[in-house]
Amino acid sequence: MRLEFPTYLDVIAARQRLSGHAHITPLMRHNLLDKISGLNLYLKNETVQKSGAFKYRGAYSRLSLLNKVERDAGVVAFSSGNHAQGVALAAKELGISATIVMPSTAPLKKKQGTLSHGAKIIEYDPKTESREKIGADIAKREQRTLIPPFDDKYVIAGQGTCGLEIVEQARGKGVELDALITPVGGGGLCAGINLVFTQLSPHTKIYGGEPVNYDDHAKSLRAGKRTANTPAPTSLCDALMSPAPGEITFPINKRRLSGIFPMTDEECLLAMTLAKETLDITLEPGGAIALAAALSRPRNIEPGSNVVVVLSGGNVDKAVMALAGLT
């Protein structure tokens, strides 16, 4: 099957579909975070997006394009949690039945959030079962439309609306952005942002943050082709544990990414603590990884640079919050 790649114009169209549905999230600042990082940080707070993460953008963008026959049949998606909640909520708003394939190890908060929007959950063992196969089987058996978490033209376009807001908000403050750091899992958010910045802010360097044991984008950039992770210990960054970059997302990201910062769980927990103490923002580890990268004073970015950090999600269990010293 021929892959469909999104363009900047697809992001513009996605914003029109999302108008009146997705929230426009704030760009925030704090002097202490600037002091620690040595940078002028602008924090894009996607935790206040519907469903608590940026994923709602891509989910609604895709589901809103379904025709009547497809809506009546319903959708199926696979996700560790944030895409699950985004699809479940968008489906609820559009009157569509949703089945979500989730790992048995998914955070309880994300399972509860998914169920609260009326979706059905099918659990699987991530060590022995393939979520892609389970999702494809359900789609075929029940004639549901499969909504991928990142490797989809209209999902990527929806995530790109976050980038549109960033550029417009920075310009509204009179700020020229030197760099942007975003969490990277499958690469959908990064790809959407890259489409926007290539068009509107080509001088801005784009970086990604990945868990140290799930650095498939970093490996792929070094190899010049999509490269999968080898089996690794579980990370607290459950939202970023994709096995390999997407077939659609990697060609987009390969052209624009200036580098990847591999971060440890401990660094993400520290970033969670600082975000809560400074801005009263509750982050999940994967949602904090870009901030963790900025706070590590990366050598790739000149001190004093204007840097946007995407705080991508805040759906976190109390046990993980406790690890960050939060209650």
Look up residue 181 and give its two tokens: 């750091």
Q: Residue 90 domain-assigned?
A: yes
In a domain, 194, yes or no: yes
Q: 227 lies in a domain?
A: yes
Same domain, 48 and 63: no
pLDDT at 1: 64
What is the C-alpha separation between 177 and 259, in angstroms, rounded? Answer: 17
Measuring CA to CA, which residue among 146, 155, 135, 153 is closest to residue 56?
Answer: 155
pLDDT of residue 127: 87
Q: Judge if 185 and 91 occupy the same domain.
A: no
Same domain flag for 312 and 209:
yes
Please tell me the predicted confidence (pLDDT) of residue 2.
79
In a domain, 2, yes or no: no
278 and 212 in a common domain: yes
Query: Nearest to residue 117, comparing CAs of 83, 69, 159, 158?
Result: 83
Both 169 and 318 in a single domain? yes
Of 88, 122, 146, the residue at which a domain comes to its end is 146
Residues 33 and 161 in one domain: yes
3-state secondary structure the chain: CCCCCCCHHHHHHHHHHHCCCCCCCCEECCHHHHHHHCCEEEEEEHHHCHHHECHHHHHHHHHCCCCHHHHHHCEEEECCCHHHHHHHHHHHHHCCCEEEEEECCCCHHHHHHHHHCCCEEEEECCCCCCHHHHHHHHHHHHCCEECCCCCCHHHHHHHHHHHHHHHHHHHHCCCCCCEEEEECCCCHHHHHHHHHHHHHCCCCEEEEEEECCCCHHHHHHHHCCCCCCCCCCCCCCHHHCCCCCCCCHHHHHHHHEEEEEEECHHHHHHHHHHHHHHHCCCCCHHHHHHHHHHHCCCCCCCCCCEEEEEECECCCCHHHHHHCCCC
Asked whether the CA dihedral 99, 235, 23, 206 is positive or negative, the reply is negative
In a domain, residue 160? The reply is: yes
30: exposed, middle or buried (Cβ count in 10 Å: 0-12, 13-18, 19+): middle
Which among 106, 56, 115, 113 has a CA at the least distance from the CA of 79?
106
Show pLDDT as tens, one digit a residue, over the chain (327 residues).
679 999 999 999 999 999 999 999 999 999 999 999 999 999 999 999 999 999 999 999 999 999 999 999 999 999 988 999 999 999 999 999 999 999 999 999 999 999 999 999 999 998 899 999 999 999 999 999 999 999 999 999 999 999 999 999 999 999 999 999 999 999 999 999 999 999 999 999 999 999 999 999 999 999 999 999 887 788 999 999 988 999 999 999 999 999 999 999 999 999 999 999 999 999 999 999 999 999 999 999 999 999 999 999 999 999 999 999 997
For 97, the domain range is 56-146
Residue 251 and residue 272 in contact, taking contact as beta carbons nearer than 8 Å: no
Question: For the chain, what is the domain count?
Answer: 2
Q: Are residues 217 and 233 in the same domain?
A: yes
pLDDT at 230: 82
Nearest Cα neighbor of 298 from 266, 273, 262 is 262
pTM recorded for the entire structure? 0.97
34 falls within a domain = yes
Task: Choose one of 98, 116, 146: the last residue of a domain.
Answer: 146
The CATH number of the domain holding residue 115 is 3.40.50.1100
Final residue of a structural domain among 146, 178, 194: 146
Q: Which pLDDT score is estimated for 100?
A: 98
Residues 268 and 132 in one domain: no
**Residue 43 in tokens:** 């924090």
Phi, psi of 59 (to 5 degrees): -65, -50
Dihedral sign, Cα of residue 62, residue 67, residue 71, residue 76: negative
Residue 1 lies in a domain: no
Residue 128 lies in a domain: yes
Six-digit token pair at 55?
């994923």
Give yes or no: residues 197 and 70 share one domain: no
